[in-house]
Amino acid sequence: MHETTSESLHELRLAVTDNPEDLLTENREFHYTHSVLRERIVEHVFIGEALRRLWQRGITEVEVLRSEFDAGGYDLVMSYGAIVRHIQFKAIVVGGSRTSITANLNLTQKPSGCILWIVVTPALDFHSYLWFGSAPGQPLPDISGMKVAKHAKANADGVKLERPNQRVVPRSAFTPLASLDAVLEQLFGPLP
């Protein structure tokens, strides 16, 4: 007798669905459960797309460094010429209801920190970008006065403790960017 699991049901639905993106759109739980994986995929795709676009523009002297863990408040370092950007990545699905992200205060200590919130389709195609940062060479705008973030889960007493080194950055503080070229120019300034 064949045992039915949620994984086998998911595979079956994919097999009989004409448009797999419809399935992903319906399944917000899937995106929530695998949000860390989704952000890693988005980060890797961004790196590849950014490097390809810079190549197409004749720019090859770019460096990319990955952070092993998030203690410094950033996921990635990209440099071009004298500009060094410490980038924190976030991802959200088109139509997602999230109204803010959390940012580590340590990012403000980097010479040119920024936050790139990438809006993706349910199939993880890039839709648009949200930018929070300053001009190349300038530090991240001051976030120290923003609301202190709290842990998502409560402790044994049912209290969600504050995360003193994390701030809540509202979506309204971000600038919408429509293209990868716009992101690259925010990161590095005017490009050839």
Judge whether residue 6 has pLDDT over 70: no
Residue spans per domain, the chain: 1-33, 39-188
Per-residue pLDDT at 9 exceeds 50: no
Q: What Cα–Cα distance (Å) separates residue 185 from each residue in 35, 58, 80, 122, 191?
A: 28, 14, 11, 27, 7
The letter for the amino acid at 189 is G
**30 pLDDT tier (thresholds 50, 70, 90):** confident
Number of Cβ atoms within 10 Å of the Cβ of 77? 18
**Across 93-112, average pLDDT:** 93
Q: Are 114 and 103 in contact (CB under 8 A)?
A: no
Under CATH, what is the fold of the domain 39-188?
Answer: Trna Endonuclease; Chain: A, domain 1 (3.40.1350)
CA distances from 67 to 8, 33, 70, 180 (A): 36, 23, 7, 22
In the predicted model, is pLDDT for residue 2 greater than 70? no
Q: What percent of the chain has pLDDT over 90?
A: 70
Residue with tokens 């701030």: 167
* Whole-prediction pTM: 0.83
